[in-house]
Amino acid sequence: MTDRPSRRAVSRRAFLRRAAASSALAALPGGMLAALAGRPRAKAQPRPDARFLFVITASGGASILDGFLPVVETEVSSLERARRLLTYPEAAVAQPAGSQLRCVRNLGRPGPFRNGYDLEGFLRAHAEDTAVVTVENTSVNHVVAQKRAITGAGIHGGRTLMEAMAEVHGEGLLLPNCNMGAGGYLEPGDAADVPTAARAEIIANPMLFAVSTHGSRGVPRAPGADVIARARATRERLEGASPFAARFASSRLRERYLRLRRELAPDIEAADLIHSLLLVQESEDVPLGAFGLRESEDAAALRAVFPGLGVDTLQTQAALAFLLAKHGVATALTFGPGFAPNVLPSGLPDTPIAFDFSHSDHLTAQNVMWSRVMEAADGLIRLLKDAPFEEGTLWDRSLIYVATDFGRSKERPAESQSFGSGHHLNNGNVLISPLLRGNRVYGGVDPETCLTYGFDPATGEPDRDTVMREGHLYSLVCQAMGIDFRGRHDMRGLLR
C-alpha cells in the first residue's frame, strides 16, 4: 500500500510543488504581466529582420585581466615587479592556435568552488566572433555600476540596452524584453518616454516560467475555453459597473492593467508558450501528461548542451533565454549569476557572491566565475548556431554582451597566491557576435601597471591616450544591432 496520491487526484498546485522540488528551484514567479502593454501578434514567431541581444551579467566585478586579457610575468620589466601585480606565469595562460586572443586557463585551485570548463576551449570554438574591449568605468558601487553597464551611463536618455532593443526590434513580440538578472541589471532605465511594452518582464524562476503563461491549462477538470471566455466577459461587465471603476475611470494605471488583461494575456495563452517554454521533464513525480501538458520540443537538445538543466540555475536561465529567442517571444534576454550561491548535489559551481568573492580569494573567484559564465555563453552559442533561421541561423542575428560592474585592483602582496582584491574603475568587457570584427583586443594593457588603455573607435587601432567609457560599449552594441540615437559614438572600426 502506498501513500502516494493517484494521478487523477494530484492537483495542479501539487504538480508545481513537485516540479519545483525536482528541479531544486524556488516557487513560481509572480507579477507575470506587470510591466507590459500593447497589442502583439497572437502567434509567437521571430520577425524576418529579427535581432537578438543576450546580456550575461558577470555580477561582482569580472576582471578582464583574469579572463581574456592576462598579463604574463615575463612581459613586465622585472620579475619582482611582476609578482606584485595581477600577472600570471606563462603556463597559466593559453592562446589557441590561429587565435589573436589569449585567456587564463582553468587553474583547478583547491577549495569548494570549482568548475570544469576551460576558457581555452571557448576561444578554440568562438575566437573569430569574440572581441575584447577595454573600458574605464565611472562607479565602483555595485548597483550603480551595474545599471551604468546597461545604460551606457545614461548616454541614450537613460534607456537600458534591453529597452532600446525592445523599442527597435520588439514590435509585435509578446514579451520583447525578458530579464532574469539581479541587482542593478534588473533596474529599469530612466527615460520617461520608453514605451511600456519595452520595459522588462522580470522572470524569477526560469524553470517554471512557462506555467505562468496560461490561466487554465494544466488545471485538472478546468472549464472549457468557451466557459472561461463567458466568465471573463461577465467579470468585465461587473467590474465596469462597480464603484471602483467609476472612481478610477481616468486612472492610467487601471487602464494599463485592463489592456494587459484584455489583450496581452489572451495572446500569450494563444501562443501556447506553456508548451514551447516548458522545461520540466515528464517523470513519475511530475506527471505532465496527467495534466494535459508536455515539455518543450527542444528539451532533449537543451539537456544535451546544459546537463544541469532544472538544477543549475545559470544553465536553466540560458536554456530559457534560447527558447524565448527561438520562439519569437523576446529580442532582449538578460541572465547571469547574482549574489546568491548556486548549490548543486555535486558541489558549489558558484562562489557565494559571484565575482565579488574576490574580496576574499581573488584568483579562485575570478577563475571559477569566468569559467562558469563562459560555459553558459558557449552552450547558448551552440544552440543558436544549430537553430535555422531564414537563410542562416539565429546566431547570425545575435550578440552576447558580458556585462560587469567594474574591474579589480591591480596589485597583490608579493608572490601571494591567496589574496583579496578591491573594486577598480579600470577594466574591459567581452562581446561575442558574428556582427563584430572578432579575434581581436580593442585597446590594450600596460604590463608595468596592469591598467588597460583605449583605442580609436573608427579604426579599432590601440590609442594609449584614449579612455573608453560605458557609453562606448553601449554605442557599440547599438550600432551592431542597428539602433541609432543622438550622441551615439561611431564604433565602425569594430564592426564587420
Q: Are the C-beta atoms of residues 209 and 52 closer than 8 Å to each other?
A: no
pLDDT score of 415 more than 90: no
pLDDT in tens, 55-89: 999 999 999 999 999 999 999 999 999 999 999 99
The pLDDT value recorded for residue 285 is 87
Averaged pLDDT, 252-262: 92
pLDDT score of 376 more than 80: yes
Lookup: cell for 306: 546544459
Tell me the three state secondary structure of residue 222.
Answer: coil
Q: Which of 478, 460, 117 is nearest to 332 (CA)?
A: 478
Q: Residue 395: CA atoms inside 13 Å, Cβ hemisphere, count? A: 16
Integer angstrom CA distances of residue 272 from 20, 208, 214, 257, 258: 21, 14, 8, 22, 21
Tell me the three state secondary structure of residue 400.
Answer: strand
pLDDT score of 10 more than 60: no
Tell me the three state secondary structure of residue 195.
Answer: coil
pLDDT in tens, 302-338: 999 999 999 999 999 999 999 999 999 999 999 999 9
| Residue 181 binned pLDDT confidence (cut-offs 50, 70, 90) | very high
Q: Which of 175, 277, 269, 256 is nearest to 228 (CA)?
A: 269
Q: Which of 134, 138, 99 is nearest to 120 (CA)?
A: 99
| Residue 14 binned pLDDT confidence (cut-offs 50, 70, 90) | low
The pLDDT value recorded for residue 305 is 98
Detail the DSSP E strand segments found in 61-204. 93-94, 103-104, 130-136, 177-179, 201-202
Q: Are the C-beta atoms of residues 53 and 331 closer than 8 Å to each other?
A: yes
| Bridge pairing between strands 451-455 and 444-446 | antiparallel
Averaged pLDDT, 445-454: 98
Burial class (CB in 10 A: 0-12, 13-18, 19+), 161: buried
| Residue 238 binned pLDDT confidence (cut-offs 50, 70, 90) | very high
Averaged pLDDT, 214-232: 92
Alpha carbons 475 and 346: distance in angstroms, whole number: 41
Lookup: cell for 6: 493517484
Averaged pLDDT, 202-224: 93
Instruction: Report which residue type is found at 19.
Output: A
Tell me the three state secondary structure of residue 294.
Answer: coil
Alpha carbons 133 and 430: distance in angstroms, whole number: 6
User: How long is the chain?
Assistant: 496
| Bridge pairing between strands 398-404 and 52-58 | parallel
Alpha carbons 470 and 73: distance in angstroms, whole number: 29
Q: Which CB contacts under 8 angstroms, 24+ apart, belong to 261-266?
A: 261/33, 262/236, 263/37, 263/38, 263/39, 263/40, 264/33, 264/36, 264/37, 264/38, 264/39, 264/40, 264/174, 265/33, 265/215, 266/42
Specify the DSSP element, H or E, that contains 452: strand 451-455
The pLDDT value recorded for residue 43 is 54
Its sign, for the CA torsion 145, 151, 157, 163, is negative
The pLDDT value recorded for residue 11 is 52
CATH fold label, 12-225+271-494: Alkaline Phosphatase, subunit A (3.40.720)
Lookup: cell for 236: 468585465
Residue with cell 496560461: 214
The pLDDT value recorded for residue 229 is 92
The pLDDT value recorded for residue 46 is 81
pLDDT score of 291 more than 70: yes
Percent of the chain with pLDDT over 70: 91
pLDDT score of 13 more than 70: no
pLDDT score of 31 more than 50: no
**Between these two residues, 375 and 37, which has the higher pLDDT value?**
375
Averaged pLDDT, 407-414: 96
470-480 helix and 142-151 helix, angle to the nearest 10 degrees: 40
Alpha carbons 480 and 367: distance in angstroms, whole number: 29
Percent of the chain with pLDDT over 90: 84
Averaged pLDDT, 120-137: 98
The average confidence (pLDDT) of the chain is: 91
